Amino acid sequence: MYTYRVIKEDPYTGQQAKRSRTITKNRQFKVGGLYIHIPGLKGCWRVLELVEGSEEE
């Protein structure tokens, strides 16, 4: 399992939400400027950092 800190961000303007959110997923996402759609959450999200988990699992 991987725990990420993500933030909602508009992919066109780059405007970010004021608060980030922590999510736990069983698949690996690339950290950085990649926009992802998270089931159950509206909008585009950018992965800020990997909080817990191993990239080698």
Is 39 domain-assigned?
yes
Is 57 domain-assigned?
no
Are 28 and 55 in contact by the 8 Å Cβ rule? The answer is yes
Per the structure, the count of domains in the chain is 1
Is 43 domain-assigned?
yes
Q: How far apart are alpha carbons 10 and 3 in whole angstroms? A: 22
Amino acid occupying residue 30? K
Structure pTM?
Answer: 0.73
Read off the pLDDT of residues 11-50 as tens digits, 9 standing for 90 and up.
788 888 988 999 898 888 888 766 777 777 788 888 889 9
Q: In angstroms, what CA-CA distances link 27 with 1, 2, 9, 24?
A: 7, 7, 21, 9
Are 41 and 16 in contact by the 8 Å Cβ rule? The answer is no
Q: How far apart are alpha carbons 43 and 57 in whole angstroms? A: 29
Is 38 domain-assigned?
yes
pLDDT at residue number 56: 55
| Structural domain boundaries enclosing 41 | 2-52
Is 42 domain-assigned?
yes
